[in-house]
Structure 1
Amino acid sequence: MYKLLAFILIAVCSASCVSTQKAEERAHARRVSQLRVVNAMSKRPIKVDVDYMMPRRVPAQHLTTNYSLTIFNDSVDSYLPYFGVAYQSNLADHMQSPLTFTSKVSNLTIVKSKKNAFHITFSAKKGNELFDYELLIFDNGKTQIQVQDSARESIMFSGNLVLPELIKCGNDARLKQ
């Protein structure tokens, strides 16, 4: 009986040590992820790979093509699809998405919120259309994008911030400079 009790006690202690170690590993991985997001936000370009689209009247869809949004110092490269109602259409686009363009940005603001998220807003012009972009980048790199235009219904996207690479240094992971 004593051996069984000792075995159970050792097993419980071992399990608690393993769970504590796993929690510490998860906390360390989260801190490294947060550091990578802050580092990516302090540099340009800021690139978001988009994998999910949420139009207003059409069901949300996963995207199979590599759509992205890249913000440079003074311009944006928007390669996003559009599904929804257009109040005005531009026949010169020839069936191209209205959210596919490269343009100068205006009113670019980047603010870090209280919950360790970054809030980015800017406007970009394509021809006669003015698009208002609003990005919310969380500390784990997950991103939500909302695009509004006076000629179309707004649309939302979600994706991931492209993070800088890590260099492994023994047990320590450091950001590539």
Structure 2
Amino acid sequence: MKTIFFLLIVFFTTVTLTNAQTQEKKSRKEIRAERQTEKMKEIKNILKEKDFVFRPTHAMPMGGGSIYLNYSFDLKIKGDTIDSYLPFYGRAYHVDYGGRNSAFDFTELAEEYKMEKDENGYVVDFDVKKGMDNISFTFKISEQGYATLNVISTNRQAISFYGRIEAPEEE
């Protein structure tokens, strides 16, 4: 009698533990959907706060093919301040005398910052005046953080960059 009672207790304990484990286990599809939802919320928040970093992986100049970039290049936006360290490939129509830095290596204030939601994600536009050069930046950002940056300058050919939008690293 004692062995039957003991076996019943072990059986019910095993069944309850198994049911609890299967209820907590989520499918890969559910886990991926949760991650995507979290990423969408993060992207929306950092764009609203105007506090994000664009890390380009490819540059696409007007006159040539795609150029792979390493991860040392970035464009940081914090409020109205733009800290750009991006390369330039293409034709320059006017260069400042003695200029040794890249055309897009600067820290300036953004003018006319606009963020709009569209059917595929977000569009962020702003302009920067650097000396005699007016530079227009247009981001097309997916809800998952992939972004294309189109840069149009009055003194240079247009260039595009492809990469990701991220939250800034804590210092």
How would you bin the TM-score normalised by the shorter chain?
Answer: 0.7 to 0.9
Larger mean CA deviation between 118-127 and 61-70 belongs to 61-70
Q: SS of the counterpart of 1:35?
A: helix
2: CA distance, partners of 1:163 / 1:74:
16
Check the 8 A contact 1:84/1:153 in 2, yes or no. Answer: yes
Check the 8 A contact 1:51/1:66 in 2, yes or no. Answer: no
Q: Which residue of 2 aligns with 1:47?
A: 53
Q: Deviations 1:95-124 (Å, cap 9, x if unpaired)? A: x21111111111110111133x11110110
Check the 8 A contact 1:36/1:164 in 2, yes or no. Answer: no
Q: CA deviation at 1:146?
A: 0.6
For residue 81 of structure 2, the aligned residue among 65, 75, 78 is 75
Q: Deviations 1:107-163 (Å, cap 9, x if unpaired)? A: 110111133x11110110111101000011111111110100121110000111113
Give yes or no for the alignment of 1:23 onto 2:29. Answer: yes
2: CA distance, partners of 1:89 / 1:110:
31
Equivalent AA in structure 2 for residue 102 of structure 1: T
Q: Work out the percentage of aligned pairs sharing the same amino acid.
A: 24
TM-score after normalising by structure 1: 0.75
Q: Which residue of 2 aligns with 1:157?
A: 161
Q: Deviations 1:2-48 (Å, cap 9, x if unpaired)? A: xxxxxxxxxxxxxxxxxx92222222221121112112222242211
TM-score after normalising by structure 2: 0.77
Kindly tell me: are residues 164 and 31 of structure 1, through their superposed partners in 2, closer, same or farther at Cα, counting changes over 3 Å? Answer: farther
Q: Which residue of 1 aligns with 2:119?
A: 114
Unaligned runs of 5+ in 1: 1-19, 166-177
2: CA distance, partners of 1:75 / 1:30:
29
In our comparison, the structure showing a higher alpha carbon Rg is 2
Runs of 4+ in 1 over 4 A off after TM superposition: none
Q: SS of the counterpart of 1:58?
A: coil
Aligned-residue CA RMSD (Å): 1.8
For residue 93 of structure 2, the aligned residue among 87, 93, 116 is 87
